[in-house]
């Protein structure tokens, strides 16, 4: 483990003591959110991203170590493990190097070289590689009808096959060719005979580009097109590499049979080496593109989960549709469903008057403040209807477009059926669309992260890696926000550090049977929840208006003594931290965390952390983010003019830019070349839910395309 710690420290440029303490905590089973939030004094205040990097590197090194043991064992059992080979394998820094070293010893289908060895031609191959004098009589001595070697040509062919295979398995040669192909290789695509009806892959019918210039989303598009047999793809290398390969294997022109060696090398390159290395580089390109796509998906999911809640307001959710109508559901300020119906303001019925009359009465009666419209089929026609209804009836409410991502998956899920067994799938969808406005996180955690479509090429991505990354983001966000122990669902609670599905269910059962939790330590009474789980979970579970006011903050119970000493120092009553926040904030201005830490002999990192929490006790971090745009009218594409500046909401971020909802039927695209004076990765400029100002560059009504330029944001 010490070797791992040193290697990770050098790679991440983090002091070894921080790596060691972090690794110790991870090995103890502590979660990343817990370590980053409540073990800052041990990690030297490493953030969650740094701890994730340490975890990922640790897992890779463990995997590498395990693979080395397997390879050493396998080669040893075959009696071919030399001391030199053992050292090479043990010192390998990557899995790729280990696999290259193992290649000659793998059990495989019998090759031409294997058959030649069986016929006794290995001594001849050694002779050809080492002899500086010709001895054609020695060559002819291998001719044997019994061994099906009837001519010198067959004998030399077999010997060259052995040499070709040896060259193809040479670690230095493979590494050289791999690097050359990645640096100077070209990817070429061409159209197949299969019909591409919608011309999805038109850009790749005749495409060529250097590998180094390939961007991830192009790689994903090319490999998807190849998988669908719409395009062919190959890697090429227009460079002379043979002489370098000869030098690497140590052959020179003084050899008597040098020409045969060159022929063997050319055969090795064409038949064995290049096809093998091409597969490797293709796989690496694909894996890198997938890794990037997973990163994009994860980042977008995080931003979506962090969408600020609009709080305890009566909300009407509308799941738009055409023939089957629009499903309507109203939830009260507590999220309870109080009304549902179906209206038909969209084609083919176009019952605008009837739908408007019905909803207007309900909105007034139930005091609906916000109308949440799903962004699926019929969304913009429904939006137009709602905007007209608000204006014509002078209603005191506004509307917004809400992402429907995953709503259909939730509606048909076991979770939704248990929540609303009496309603159909579409009504459940409308309820979810309404609740997403009140508390987006509480709703989205009910849906498998994979089903929340905020990424690129998600169906082409490796499911295990994608799900692991997305689950990690859900866990991170839920713990960042925290939960109200007396209202949180088991779907939220199971993501809390130290908890799982079983303990989350038991918490809800305990709450239902015995009433609200009065203090955090009551968690220890929950079945299956021991001291270790409590240690990790307690700080993320808040109790509002409980017996101990500190239970309503993110201060961990293990640090209550420090918090109380701080409050005593500034002469502030702990029971008043929520009722008199401004007074507390004012008194804390005179508090010196550094002096207090030295005087009381407390860890300064922990003291500073508690000091910062007391500045904003009970703060939901989402409250500091931009609230969604609420609208009361709607524009059409025909209303847009070049040069017009509008405010919009970022709906999706991809490698080539960001899609922005500006209140018309079609989202506009801010291409990465139109990000103003911002440069680089769109993920570093935009985030889902962000409110930005954009300028209209062009509008193509027929193709339904809007080109935007980023002007700025708050």
Cβ neighbours of residue 472 closer than 8 Å, sequence gap 6 or more: 32, 52, 298
Average pLDDT of the segment spanning 447-471: 86
> Measured between alpha carbons, how far is 258 from 130 in angstroms, rounded to an integer?
10
Quick check: 702 pLDDT over 90? no
pLDDT at 618: 84
Q: Are residues 334 and 365 in the same domain?
A: yes
220 burial class (0-12, 13-18, 19+ CB within 10 angstroms)? buried
Which of 569, 593, 623 is a domain's end point? Answer: 623
pLDDT digits (tens, 9 = 90+) for 73-96: 999 999 999 999 999 999 999 999
pLDDT digits (tens, 9 = 90+) for 681-693: 888 899 888 889 9
Average pLDDT of the segment spanning 165-180: 95
> Measured between alpha carbons, how far is 162 from 111 in angstroms, rounded to an integer?
9
DSSP string, 13-37: T--HHHHHHHHHHHHTT--HHHHHH
pLDDT at 210: 96
Tokens matching residue 526: 């929950």
Q: Are residues 709 and 603 in the same domain?
A: no
Query: Within a domain: residue 483?
Result: yes
Tokens matching residue 533: 């789980």
Residue 89, φ and ψ in degrees, nearest 5:
-70, -45
CA geometry: angle 372, 623, 362, nearest 5 deg? 25
> Measured between alpha carbons, how far is 163 from 211 in angstroms, rounded to an integer?
31
602 and 596 Cβ atoms separated by less than 8 Å? yes
Q: What is the CA radius of gyration of the chain?
A: 33
CA geometry: angle 104, 110, 116, nearest 5 deg? 85
584 and 577 Cβ atoms separated by less than 8 Å? yes
Quick check: 714 pLDDT over 80? no
Which of 579, 596, 623 is a domain's end point? Answer: 623
Q: Are residues 654 and 612 in the same domain?
A: no
CA geometry: angle 382, 386, 387, nearest 5 deg? 115
CA geometry: angle 153, 157, 158, nearest 5 deg? 125
CA geometry: angle 30, 36, 38, nearest 5 deg? 75
Q: In 488-603, where does DSSP find H-type helix?
A: 490-493, 501-514, 531-537, 560-569, 581-588, 593-600
Tokens matching residue 664: 């018309």
CATH assignment of the domain containing 91:
1.10.10.650
Q: Are residues 605 and 665 in the same domain?
A: no
| Closest alpha carbon to 441 in 305, 316, 329 | 305
Structure pTM?
Answer: 0.86
Residue with tokens 């490999």: 223
Average pLDDT of the segment spanning 302-309: 91
Q: Are residues 484 and 606 in the same domain?
A: yes
Query: Within a domain: residue 125?
Result: no
Query: Within a domain: residue 144?
Result: no
| Closest alpha carbon to 333 in 437, 421, 411 | 437
> Measured between alpha carbons, how far is 354 from 129 in angstroms, rounded to an integer?
91
Provide the pairing of β-strand 705-713 with 691-700.
Answer: antiparallel
Q: Are residues 676 and 549 in the same domain?
A: no
Query: Within a domain: residue 387?
Result: yes
Q: What are the CB-based long-range contacts (under 8 Å, 24+) for 360-368? A: 360/389, 360/393, 360/395, 362/316, 362/328, 362/330, 363/316, 363/395, 363/397, 364/395, 366/314, 366/330, 366/332, 366/338, 366/339, 367/314, 368/314, 368/315, 368/316, 368/330, 368/397
User: Which domain, by its residues, includes 423?
Assistant: 315-461
| Closest alpha carbon to 222 in 280, 274, 276, 282 | 282
Query: Within a domain: residue 15?
Result: yes
Q: Are residues 597 and 493 in the same domain?
A: yes
Give the up-direction half-sphere exposure of residue 462: CA atoms within 13 A in the CB hemisphere.
13
Which of 428, 461, 494 is a domain's end point? Answer: 461
CATH assignment of the domain containing 678:
2.40.50.140
591 and 567 Cβ atoms separated by less than 8 Å? no
603 and 561 Cβ atoms separated by less than 8 Å? no
CATH assignment of the domain containing 370:
3.30.420.140
pLDDT at 33: 97
Q: Are residues 488 and 603 in the same domain?
A: yes
Average pLDDT of the segment spanning 118-145: 95
696 and 711 Cβ atoms separated by less than 8 Å? no
pLDDT digits (tens, 9 = 90+) for 462-518: 999 999 999 999 999 999 999 999 999 999 999 999 999 999 999 999 999 999 999
| Closest alpha carbon to 662 in 260, 380, 406, 374 | 380
> Measured between alpha carbons, how far is 511 from 494 in angstroms, rounded to an integer?
15
| Closest alpha carbon to 409 in 423, 429, 433 | 429
pLDDT digits (tens, 9 = 90+) for 399-427: 998 888 888 889 999 989 998 999 988 89
Average pLDDT of the segment spanning 144-150: 92
Query: What element of type H or E holds 386?
Result: helix 379-392
116 and 161 Cβ atoms separated by less than 8 Å? yes
Which regions of 226-335 does DSSP assign to beta strands (E)?
Answer: 231-236, 315-319, 326-331
pLDDT at 704: 80
Query: Within a domain: residue 294?
Result: no
Quick check: 664 pLDDT over 90? no
CATH assignment of the domain containing 614:
1.10.150.310
| Summary mean pLDDT of the chain | 93
608: alpha, beta or left, given left = phi > 0 and alpha = psi -120 to 50?
alpha
Quick check: 596 pLDDT over 70? yes
| Band of residue 579 on the pLDDT scale cut at 50, 70, 90 | very high
The alpha carbon of residue 76 and the mean position of all alpha carbons in its chain are separated, in whole angstroms, by 40
Q: Are residues 594 and 559 in the same domain?
A: yes
| The total number of structural domains that make up the chain | 4
Query: What element of type H or E holds 341?
Result: strand 337-343
Query: Within a domain: residue 674?
Result: yes
Q: Are residues 588 and 532 in the same domain?
A: yes
Quick check: 176 pLDDT over 80? yes
For residues 459-480, b (16+ Cβ closer than 10 Å) or e, as one string? Answer: ebbeeeebeebbebbbbbbbbb
Q: Are residues 375 and 487 in the same domain?
A: no
**Percentage of the chain modeled with pLDDT above 90:** 78
Q: In 28-82, where does DSSP find H-type helix?
A: 32-38, 40-43, 48-77
| Band of residue 143 on the pLDDT scale cut at 50, 70, 90 | very high
Q: What are the CB-based long-range contacts (under 8 Å, 24+) for 94-99? A: 94/64, 95/63, 95/64, 95/67, 96/280, 97/171, 97/175, 98/64, 98/67, 98/68, 98/71
Residue 215: CB atoms within 10 A of its CB come to: 14
pLDDT digits (tens, 9 = 90+) for 532-576: 999 999 999 999 999 999 999 999 999 999 999 999 999 999 999
Quick check: 214 pLDDT over 70? yes
pLDDT at 120: 96
429 and 408 Cβ atoms separated by less than 8 Å? yes
Q: Are residues 610 and 502 in the same domain?
A: yes
Entry field: residues in the chain: 714
Query: Within a domain: residue 188?
Result: no
């Amino acid at each position: 483990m010490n070797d791992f710690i040193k290697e990770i420290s050098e790679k991440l440029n983090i002091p070894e003591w921080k790596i060691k303490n972090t690794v110790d905590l991870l090995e103890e089973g502590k979660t990343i959110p817990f370590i980053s939030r409540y073990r800052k004094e041990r990690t030297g205040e490493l953030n969650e991203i740094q701890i994730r990097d340490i975890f990922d590197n640790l897992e890779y090194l463990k995997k590498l170590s395990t693979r080395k043991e397997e390879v050493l064992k396998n080669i040893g059992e075959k009696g071919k493990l030399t001391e030199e080979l053992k050292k090479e394998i043990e010192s390998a820094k990557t899995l790729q190097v280990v696999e290259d070293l193992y290649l000659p010893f793998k059990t495989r289908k019998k090759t031409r070289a294997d058959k030649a060895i069986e016929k006794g031609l290995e001594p001849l191959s050694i002779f050809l590689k080492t002899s500086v004098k010709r001895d054609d009589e020695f060559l002819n001595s291998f001719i044997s009808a019994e061994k099906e070697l009837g001519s010198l040509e067959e004998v030399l062919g077999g010997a060259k096959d052995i040499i070709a295979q040896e060259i193809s398995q040479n670690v230095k040669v493979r590494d050289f060719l791999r690097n050359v192909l990645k640096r100077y290789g070209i990817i070429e695509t061409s159209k197949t005979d299969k019909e591409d009806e919608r011309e999805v892959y038109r850009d790749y019918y005749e495409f060529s580009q250097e590998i180094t210039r390939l961007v991830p989303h192009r790689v994903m598009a090319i490999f998807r097109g190849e998988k669908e047999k719409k395009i062919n793809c190959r890697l090429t290398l227009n460079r002379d590499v043979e002489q370098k390969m000869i030098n690497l294997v140590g052959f020179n022109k003084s050899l008597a049979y040098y020409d045969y060696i060159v022929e063997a090398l050319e055969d090795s390159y064409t038949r064995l080496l290049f096809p093998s290395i091409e597969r490797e580089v293709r796989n690496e390109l694909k894996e890198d593109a997938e890794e990037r796509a997973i990163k994009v998906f994860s980042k977008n999911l995080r931003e979506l989960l962090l969408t600020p809640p609009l709080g305890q307001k009566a909300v009407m959710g509308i799941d738009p549709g055409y023939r089957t109508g629009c499903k309507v559901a109203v939830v009260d300020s507590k999220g309870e469903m109080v009304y549902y119906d179906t209206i038909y303001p969209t084609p083919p019925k176009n019952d605008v008057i009837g739908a408007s009359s019905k909803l207007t009465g309900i909105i007034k009666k139930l005091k609906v403040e916000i109308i949440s419209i799903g962004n699926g089929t019929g969304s913009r026609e429904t939006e137009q209807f709602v905007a007209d209804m608000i204006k014509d009836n002078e209603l005191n409410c506004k509307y917004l477009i809400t992402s429907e991502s995953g709503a259909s998956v939730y509606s048909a899920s076991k979770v939704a059926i248990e929540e609303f067994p009496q309603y159909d799938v579409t009504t459940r969808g409308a309820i979810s669309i309404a609740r997403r406005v009140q508390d987006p996180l509480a709703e989205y955690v009910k849906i498998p992260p994979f089903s929340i479509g905020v990424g690129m090429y998600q169906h082409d991505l490796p499911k295990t890696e994608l799900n692991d990354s997305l689950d990690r983001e859900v866990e991170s966000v839920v713990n960042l926000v925290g939960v109200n122990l007396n209202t949180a669902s088991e779907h939220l609670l199971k993501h809390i550090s130290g908890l799982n599905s079983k303990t989350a269910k038991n918490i809800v059962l305990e709450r239902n049977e015995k009433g609200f939790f009065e203090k955090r330590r009551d968690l220890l009474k929950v079945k299956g929840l021991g001291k270790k789980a409590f240690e990790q979970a307690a700080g993320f579970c808040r109790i509002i208006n409980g017996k101990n006011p500190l239970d309503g903050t993110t201060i961990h119970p293990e640090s209550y003594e420090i918090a109380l000493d701080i409050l005593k120092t500034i002469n502030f009553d702990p029971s008043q931290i929520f009722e008199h926040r401004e007074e507390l904030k004012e008194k804390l201005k005179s508090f010196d965390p550094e002096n207090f830490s030295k005087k009381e002999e407390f860890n300064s990192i922990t003291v500073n952390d508690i000091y910062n929490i007391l500045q904003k006790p009970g703060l939901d971090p989402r409250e500091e983010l931009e609230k969604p745009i609420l609208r009361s009218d709607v524009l059409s594409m025909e209303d847009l003019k070049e040069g017009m500046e509008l405010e919009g909401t970022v709906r999706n971020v991809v490698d080539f830019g960001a899609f922005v909802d500006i209140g018309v039927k079609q989202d506009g695209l801010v291409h990465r070349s139109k990000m103003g004076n911002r440069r680089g990765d769109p993920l570093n400029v935009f985030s889902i839910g962000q409110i930005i100002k954009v300028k209209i560059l062009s509008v193509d009504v027929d193709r339904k395309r809007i080109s935007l330029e980023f002007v700025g944001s708050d």
